[in-house]
Each structure stands twice: as structure tokens, then as C-alpha cells.
Amino acid sequence: MRLGAALRSELSKLFRQRGTYAGFVVVLALVGLLTWGSHYHQDRFKVANELGPDFVVAGKSITALFIARAAMDVAMVILMPVLVAIVVGGLVAGERQSGTLRTLLTRPVRRSTVLLSKLVAGCIYAVAVTLFLGLSSLALGYLVFGWGDLVLFRGGLAILGPQAGLLRLAEGYGLAAAAMCAVGVLALMLSVLFDNPLTAAGLTIAVLLVSGMIEFMPYFEQIRPYLFTTNLPMYRACLKASVDTASISISALYLLGYVSAMVLVALWVFSRRDVTC
Amino acid sequence: MSASSVIETEGLTKHFGHIRAVDGLDLSVHAGAIFVHAGAIFGFLGPNGAGKSTTIRMLTGLLRPTGGEARVLGRPIRDRLRVGRSIGALVDEPAFYPYLTARQNLRLLASLSGGARAEEIQEALKLVGLDQDADRKLHTFSHGMRQRLGIAQALVPRPRLLILDEPASGLDPEGLAEVRDLLRRLSEEGMTIFLSSHLLGEVEQLCTDVGVISHGKLIAQGAVGGLLAGGGPAVRLRVDDARKALSVLADLPNVMAAATGDGSIEVGGERDSAQLNELLVRAGVRVYELRPAHRTLESFYLETMRAGKSNDRPDAEKAENDNDGSG
């Protein structure tokens, strides 16, 4: 009923904290380093190196689109999940630790409304920081290298013109943002279950790491396709020469299943849990 | 349960594991316990760990009762949203967002209660004397200022019932007097106030009714005037060895004695002043002063706690000890 008001208050809290912007600063620093590295070590980043000796590549391959693609490749593996886990992991546990959850929940508002508003706010942060990664890498890449084609060499070779390349990256970043929302939901669930925001954030990363390790263990081969971390990098399908929409759809469905289950657990626990501190 | 009561509980119970924090609490005067009238200021007293905060947390929806029933303003506390619309609460230490100003904090919290007009927020800030500091960020506030802001947030939007858990905690004497005056004004306007406190002097000055809780059970209740009039006039003693005097007096039947904060001893119950004096002198206690004394809430409380301890059930003792042991 008061979801709008609760969401406005969550966003107001989230974006009035300096800590929220630390993630954006880190992302900007990473993009800066990536752009600087690409500029001063262009030889190492030549597409020809990736394609092997059978190909002769002429023209400019390092462009704004290349930087945006590389930024996605580099940041989505660890950095972005860590940033999302830290911020979203504190949304409930942080308020519980500081006592403000107590103040909040004496108000005539459903606990489910409070939690859903935090969930949406967390997802807005995840989307914002992911889009910031894409936009800042495009902007810095454009300033240093200018516009140009997007060369994709995984699963074949594709050279996309600036417009098609931008569209492909937009799809990729959209999927990456969705994946980071799924990480945010995991962090929020752990934030409901644990009192300490650092525990919630740390466990989020631990779950991702363990799930990622299981992926590479031969004994778990049969469950590999269903793992959270197997389906999380669905955005990578957009960085291949041709987009495998079927694999994206399957991954999206699995993630939706995980997200639904985690939201239900979080809602169930949050609605019943005693506020003792 | 009475339809006109503001707060009523029946067998209200809260267990944390095997610890009984609140153990079948009954708050209803016509059913044999307390009845909190509209416009009353009700003091909820008890030692640390007695179950005061747990009761308040159940009344405000922060804790789910293990058993029993509670009604606030005629509605069961399960109906948290409707109950919450008519109450304002300060539970435990006031907690706010340090990166927001006082005004922003109040606006944010009020938005979850359906919103409040800017004038309402300003009025609440003025009532607690924070209107000049309304646009300062909370991290610059002292403990006393936070405490007053805690009361202000409970007043936005204006509630029918104000529930305050230790509202005077951390306030200086001037702040105490201000909060006392504020609560009196609100009471005169018809607002019912339910507060827990350790400051018995403050409670005596402020409250119309009190209830005493020990080990999760209500052990005394009633109008302050009635409770202090009960037990007959007390005698105040000033002696050279208070401990020895108390041990002598403890052996007397139907006599209750308690050391007061200023080092003297207050004696109530069936006793004869001359006999008391003789008894103490014979026991080697020098009596410097023996005079009729106004019975204070402090002496009533100490007597009640002493009497309550002797009636404690073994499992309640065990729960308390376990609680202490767990830190």
C-alpha cells in the first residue's frame, strides 16, 4: 500500500550516503585504468593477437565500444558483485545493526512493503552502477580512441558497425544489470538472515565463489547447468560473434527461479523475525 | 477485556528459547490488574531484565508474542497497521540516519505513517526544543538531542497513545524537566502516555498510574496516589550502620524496610516507632533520627521488589540466571 513512499525513503537513504558513491568512484577508476592501459599498451590489445596468425587485421580495433566491452568482461566477474553485495547486504543488516530498523518498523507499514522497497532500491543501485560502468567506459573510450566498430572474436568473428555494436553492447549491459540484480537479491536475503552487514556481504561473495568453484569440479558436472554462477554471466552471450538467444533465455529462467525462491525466503523470514536490537 | 481501555494484556508471554522474558502479563484493572485510562501517564517500572522493553516491543509490533493477548486502543496487536496508525513509539535508544538532518529524518519516518505536513514536523521539533537545530545532520547531535528527537518522531503524526521506553535516558536535569513538562502538556491535551523508566523520582512526579514488573510478571499496579497511601505512614531512620539496622529490621514480622538513595532507611508496615528505636539501640545501632516520612515511589518500589523476590517461582529465577549467564 505504501510501497511508493517506502521506495522513495529507501532511495533517499541510499543515495544520500557517501558510501553508495564509493562504488561509482571505484568503477570510474577501473575504467580509467583500462583506458589508460589500452592507450599505452595498444600492441597487447590488438585484435589480431586474439585471432591468431591466420588473420590479418587492418584498421582501428580499439574503440569506445572495445573499451565498453572490455570493461564488462573485466568488472562483471568480481568487482561488480562485490560492490552490489556491500551496498545491498547492508540494506537490512546495516539498519538492524544501527537500530534504525527498530525505528522504521514501529511505523504502521507492512514488513513486506519495507523489504520490497529495499529490494527495488537494491536493484536500482545494481542497474545504476552497471549502467555507469557501460556509460563511463563508452565516454572515456570515445575521448581517447574515438568511435568505431566493435570486433567480436568469441565463437567466430564478427565486425559490427558502430550502431549495431552499440546495440549489442546495450543488450549485454542490460543482461549484466539483470545478473547484478540477482546478486543483489542474494545479498538482500543474506542481509535478512544475518545481523552484520559485513557478514551478509562476505557470505554473498562466498556463495558466488563456492558456486563458481563447484562449476569446475568434475563430480558436479550434472548439476553445473543449474548453478547460480553458471547462469549469472548470461551477458557473455552478447559478446560472442552470434547471439545465442536460447542459452540466454534458459539462463534468465534459471535466475528467475533462484530470485523468486530467495525473495520468498527473505519475505518469510523478515515478516516473522523478532526485532531484538 | 474492556472496550474502553487503551492498553490491555491478558496472559501476554514471550519466550526467547527457554528464557521467559515476559511471563503471562496481565494489564487490566477490572480483571484484577492495571487499566490505563485515556489521558493518563502510566509508568512501567522494573529492574533490568524484568521484561519492560520486551513488553513494549510486543505492544509496538517488533516482537511476536509467544502466547496471550494484547489489545492497544481496543484492537489486537496482531492488527499492527491499524494499531500503529494511532500510536507513536520510542523503543530503546533512539536510532536515526546520521547523514540526514533532523527534519529529513522526521519527514522520512512520517512518510511511512502516511506522511505529515511540514508544519506538523516543525511543531514536533519545536515541542522538543529542536526547531533551531532542525537542519543539522544527526551525526552532530548529542545524546540528549537524539533522545528528544526520538520523542519528536513519535509525535509525528500526532498519536493518541505515546509509548516511550526510557525517554529520560541520558538527559541532563534541564532536559529532564523539559521532557517532564512536555509529557504533562501532551497528557493534558488527552494523549495517553505509557513509559518505562528507572528514574523513580521522575515517575513519581509525572505518572498518574504505575505498574511494577519483575521476572516477566506484574507484581504491583495502581494509581500512584493510592499505592503510596497504602501500607500506612512510613518512618524514616538515620543510623550509624544501615546494613546492621536492615538485618535487625528484616527479622521483624509485617515490617518492610528499605535503604533509600540518601543513606537513610524507610520503614513501613505494622510497627511502633518507640519499639523500633529500642530494638535498634539494643542491637547496638545508634539512631540519630527517627521521623514520620512521606512514602516515596522509590521506597514503595524497593519494598515491592523485595516482596516480589520472595514470591518468585523457581523457573523464573532459573530463567533470569540463565539470562545473566548468557550476557
**pLDDT tens digits, A206-227:** 999 999 999 888 888 889 999 9
Tell me the mean pLDDT in the region B13-23: 89
pLDDT at residue B31 in the model = 26
**From B60, B62, B64, residue closest to A272, measured CB to CB:** B64
CA distance A206 to chain B (A): 29
- Confidence check: pLDDT of B298 > 90: no
Is the CB of A108 less than 8 angstroms away from the CB of B82?
yes
* Per-residue confidence band for B317, with pLDDT thresholds at 50, 70 and 90: very low
> How sure is the predictor about A69, in pLDDT bands with cuts at 50, 70 and 90?
very high
B63 φ/ψ sector (left φ>0, alpha ψ -120 to 50, else beta): beta
In B, residues 125-154, which contact A (CB 8 Å cutoff)? Answer: 153
Q: Which of residues 16-35 of A touch B (CB under 8 A)?
A: 16-18
pLDDT at site B310: 58
Mean pLDDT of B212-240: 80
pLDDT at residue B327, rounded to an integer:
28
Range with the lowest mean pLDDT among A49-63, A196-210, B71-85, B227-241? A49-63
Residues facing residue A121 across a β-bridge: none
Contact between B34 and B209 (Cβ < 8 Å): yes
Interface of A with B in 84-113 (CB under 8 A): 98-100, 102-110
Rounded CA separation A238/B60 (Å): 51
Q: List CB contacts of B147: < 8 A, sequence separation 6 or more.
A: B94, B167, B168, B169, B170, B171, B175, B179
Task: State the average pLDDT for chain B.
Answer: 82
Structure confidence at residue A128 as a pLDDT band (50, 70, 90)? very high
Question: Can you read off the three cell numbers belonging to residue A120?
Answer: 527495488
Query: What single letter denotes the amino acid at residue B127?
Result: L
What does the DSSP 8-state code read for residue B134? T
Q: What does the pLDDT average to over A132-149?
A: 94
Mean of pLDDT values over A11-39: 94
pLDDT at A45: 58
Domain B7-224 CATH superfamily: P-loop containing nucleotide triphosphate hydrolases (3.40.50.300)
Average pLDDT over residues A55-80: 86
| A115 closest CA partner among A220, A189, A34 | A189
Substitution target in B83, B101, B111 with the highest count of A β-carbons within 10 Å is B111
pLDDT at res. A49: 65
Q: How many beta-carbon pairs under 8 angstroms link A with B?
A: 80
- As a whole number, mean pLDDT of residues B191-196 equals 91
Is residue B225 scored above 70 in pLDDT?
yes
Report the 10 Å Cβ neighbour count for B180: 18
Q: Which three cell numbers stand for residue B239?
A: 543510623
Q: Which of A105, A107, A275 to mutate to test the interface with B (most CBs of B within 10 A)?
A: A107
In angstroms, the CA B153 to CA B169 distance is 16
For residue B69, is pLDDT > 80? Answer: yes
For the segment B61-75, the average pLDDT, to the nearest whole number, is: 91
Q: How confident is the model at residue A110 (pLDDT cuts 50, 70, 90)?
A: very high
Query: Do A105 and B61 make contact, defined as CB atoms within 8 angstroms?
Result: yes
Helix spans in B15-66 (H) = 52-59
Of residues B181 and A52, which shows the higher confidence score? B181
Is it the case that residue B309 has pLDDT exceeding 70? no
Query: For the residues B16-32, what does the mean pLDDT come to?
Result: 71
Percent of chain B scored above 70 by pLDDT? 86
Closest CA to A132 of A71, A178, A86, A201: A71
Closest among A248, A258, A230, A79 to A172, alpha carbons compared:
A248
Question: CATH number of the domain at B231-294, out of 3.30.70.100, 3.40.50.10490, 3.40.50.150, 3.30.420.40?
Answer: 3.30.70.100
Q: Determine, for residues A276 and B64 on separate chains, whether the beta-carbon distance falls below 8 Å.
A: no
- For residue B314, name the pLDDT band (cuts at 50, 70, 90): very low
Across the range A188-199, mean pLDDT stands at 96
Inform me whether the pLDDT recorded for A248 exceeds 60: yes
pLDDT surpasses 70 at B135: yes
Beta-sheet pairing, B209-214 with B41-45 = parallel
- Rounded to the nearest 5 percent, the helix, strand and coil shares of chain B are 40, 25, 35
Greater confidence, A61 or A133? A133
Is it true that the peptide bond before B157 is cis, omega within 30 degrees of 0?
A: yes
The segment(s) of chain B belonging to CATH 3.30.70.100 are 231-294
pLDDT at A58: 63
Kindly write down the DSSP assignment for every residue of B31-93, as one continuous string. Answer: TTS----TT-EEEEE--TTSSHHHHHHHHTTSS--SEEEEEETTEETTSHHHHHHHEEEE-SS
Determine which helix (DSSP H) or strand (DSSP E) holds A145, and give its type and residue range.
helix A111-145
Give the model's confidence band at A120: pLDDT under 50 very low, under 70 low, under 90 confident, else very high.
very high
Using DSSP, state whether B97 is helix, strand or coil.
Answer: coil
* Average pLDDT rounded to a whole number, residues B162-169: 90
Confidence of residue B28 (pLDDT cuts 50, 70, 90): low
Q: What confidence score (pLDDT) does residue B49 get?
A: 85
How many angstroms separate the CA atoms of B52 and A174, rounded?
52
Whether the predicted pLDDT of B32 surpasses 50: no
- In order of A30, A103, B125, the CA distances from B133 in angstroms are 41, 21, 9
